[in-house]
């Protein structure tokens, strides 16, 4: 939930975000989410709060968005990301962690409401990620399955509303 301490700053010509997301893989599937209006999927997470460690951000965001308690594991990627969305330009720095969800074996779709908007959650088969639009666009089955150490990734202007 975005509050007064959320690290999201309007700046000259754009918006700066500090985002934290989780990569949850279970039974060959990865948990992704999207809003009903978006034409792309993304990893669950949210914006960090000031004076909040990034692992705490992910724990808080997953509880707020899903009601799930998760275990945050190793940092996979640090991402510098420039993109446009709904007519605004963004400069985002993101921390992406491996995340374990205490799943009961039932990987069902579900919806939640956050800040008055719906989020749709779906477990996608990792080997079929190339069939969907996922954002940021660098995310691939190969990268998810073969990241053995933390990687620094840069993404230069992708229009999320295109296509």
pLDDT digits (tens, 9 = 90+) for 69-107: 899 999 999 999 999 998 899 999 999 999 998 766 667
**Which run of H or of E encompasses 138?**
none
pTM of the predicted structure, to 2 decimals? 0.91
List all residues 6 or more positions away from 141 whose beta carbon is below 8 Å from its beta carbon.
Answer: 126, 127, 129, 130
CATH class of 8-101+112-159: alpha beta
**Which run of H or of E encompasses 35?**
none
Q: How confident is the model at residue 1 (pLDDT cuts 50, 70, 90)?
A: low
For the chain, which residues make up each domain, given as ranges? 8-101+112-159
Picking from 48, 57, 15, 30, the residue whose alpha carbon sits closest to that of residue 127 is 30
End-to-end CA separation in angstroms for the chain: 28
- In the DSSP assignment, the letter for residue 115 is T
């Amino acid at each position: 939930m975005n509050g007064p301490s959320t690290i999201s700053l309007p700046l000259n010509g754009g918006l700066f975000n500090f985002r934290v997301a989780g990569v949850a893989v279970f039974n060959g599937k990865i948990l992704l989410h999207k809003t009903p209006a978006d034409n792309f999927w993304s990893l669950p997470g949210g914006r960090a709060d000031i004076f909040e460690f990034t692992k705490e951000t992910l724990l808080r965001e997953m509880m707020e968005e899903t009601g799930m308690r998760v275990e945050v594991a190793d940092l996979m990627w640090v991402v510098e990301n420039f993109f446009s969305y709904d007519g605004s330009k963004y400069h985002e720095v993101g921390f992406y962690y491996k995340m374990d969800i205490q799943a009961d074996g039932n990987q069902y779709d579900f919806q939640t409401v956050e800040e008055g908007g719906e989020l749709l959650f779906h477990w996608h088969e990792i080997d079929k990620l190339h069939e969907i639009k996922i954002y940021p666009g660098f995310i691939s089955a190969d990268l998810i399955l073969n990241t053995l150490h933390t990687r620094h990734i840069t993404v230069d202007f992708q229009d999320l509303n295109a296509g």
